Amino acid sequence: MKENFPRRVARLLAQEAAQVFEWLVASIPGYTGYVIRLWCLRLAAGEVGDAVYIAESVRIEGKSNMRFGSNIFIMRHCNLYALSGKLRIGSRVSMNTNVTIDPCEGGSIEIGDDVMIGPNVVVRAADHGHASTEVPMRSQGHVGGSVVIENDVWIGANAVVTRNVRIGRGSIVGAGAVVVEDVPPFSVVGGVPARILRQRTATA
């Protein structure tokens, strides 16, 4: 059934009001802003632990599809999206500035415990469809997948993690790397595409 004009206007105004509210909440500085953002997150997200610090200018969309552990630090200008996907973040996770985490349509991203994510990192669990050469790629939707980042992983600045990838426990992803395939546990990877540079070994 076609939406009539008054209902469409009301819906658009409600959406804009919600966006303005989100912007205002994201702009509040200091401890007051931290408390209000955590309170709003707890109201909307599926699960939120203790001490989830969200800095100013962080964009979070699709909170109902997100799960958060405890002792999480999300720095300024990060973007978390889960409008049509699923996102789970473990405990003792830190994200530096301008990180983008996006499960996208039908995708899922799971981040384990004790994970460090450097500035400007992009983790995305879907690609644009491009099977047809007769249809513009922007009109072919998305192909969803999954990303799993296991416990105790360090992802360096400007790295990109693509869909259908698992980064094993204790691994390090070098700055600027593009991860397109699974990373074995305790590996150090780097390059485009990322390749194993060495294995971490136990020290006495």
- Cα 192 to chain centroid, rounded: 21
- Taking the C-alpha atoms of residue 38 and residue 41, their distance in angstroms, rounded to an integer, is 5
Enclosing H/E stretch for 15: helix 5-27
Catalytic residue, chosen from 77, 128, 130, 142, is 128
- Taking the C-alpha atoms of residue 75 and residue 94, their distance in angstroms, rounded to an integer, is 8
Residue 128 among the catalytic residues: yes
What b/e readout covers 156-167, taking b as 16+ CB neighbours within 10 angstroms? bbbbbbbbbbbb
Residue pair 64/85 in contact by the 8 Å Cβ criterion:
no
Q: Please name the residue that has the structure tokens 């999480």.
A: 72
- Half-sphere exposure in the Cβ direction for 30 (13 Å, CA): 1
Active site residues: 128
